């Protein structure tokens, strides 16, 4: 009986992977959730147990799983790219030291520091005079408004 269960699991996994591949292809072509469900059904990709279209919920779950996989791939790709860039900069650094090209050594060091985020960010010189003049303008308007209210004789009817 266990052998039959393994065969069923393998078949279900194959169905799931095939569906996810098709969902991925359709999603990457800009199809919406509903359009994917419809396209799967029209393409004969249906639930083998019910012979009906896959539910929107199931396709949505596939889309979430794909998004997580794609994000993990992107992180790996980024890390791989960074490590290659660092290795190349280190190789340039070694070659520059071997030839005593100190200008190139400095460039390689700057590149590595930039890749690693070791340099402090450039200072931003933000001008605050606009904010200060706006704040002063608001205060002047408020003072005028309060002054007009006081000058209008509205003191709660105490006169």
Digit-coded pLDDT (tens) for 32-63:
999 999 999 999 999 999 999 999 999 999 99
pLDDT band, very low/low/confident/very high, at 3 (cuts 50, 70, 90): low
SS3 content of the chain, % helix, strand, coil (to 5): 75, 0, 25
Q: Which of 43-47, 73-77, 118-122 has the lowest mean pLDDT?
A: 118-122
Long-range own/partner contacts, residues 34-43 (CB < 8 A, 24 or more apart)? 36/63
Q: Which of 5-14, 33-42, 48-57, 91-100 has the lowest mean pLDDT?
A: 5-14
pLDDT band, very low/low/confident/very high, at 80 (cuts 50, 70, 90): very high
Residue 119 vs residues 62, 85, 89, 96, 109: alpha-carbon distances, Å: 41, 17, 16, 22, 11
**Per-domain residue ranges of the chain:** 1-54, 67-122
Look at residue 151 and tell me whether its pLDDT is greater than 60. no
- How far is residue 14's CA from residue 18's CA, in Å, rounded to a whole number? 6
pLDDT of residue 154: 47
pLDDT of residue 155: 47
């Amino acid at each position: 009986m266990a052998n039959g269960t393994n065969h069923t699991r393998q078949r279900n996994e194959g169905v799931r992977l095939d569906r996810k591949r098709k969902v991925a292809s359709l999603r990457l072509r800009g199809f919406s959730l509903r359009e994917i469900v419809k396209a799967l059904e029209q393409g004969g990709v249906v639930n083998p147990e019910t012979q009906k279209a896959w539910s929107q919920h199931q396709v949505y779950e596939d889309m979430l799983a794909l998004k997580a996989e794609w994000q993990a791939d992107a992180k790996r790709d980024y890390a791989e790219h960074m490590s290659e860039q660092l290795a190349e900069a280190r190789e340039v650094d070694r070659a520059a030291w071997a030839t005593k090209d100190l200008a190139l050594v400095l460039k390689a060091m700057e590149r590595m520091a930039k890749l690693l985020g070791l340099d402090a960010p450039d200072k931003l010189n933000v001008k605050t005079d606009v904010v200060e003049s706006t704040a002063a303008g608001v205060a002047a308007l408020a003072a005028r408004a309060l002054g007009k209210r006081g000058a209008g004789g509205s003191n709660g009817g105490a006169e």
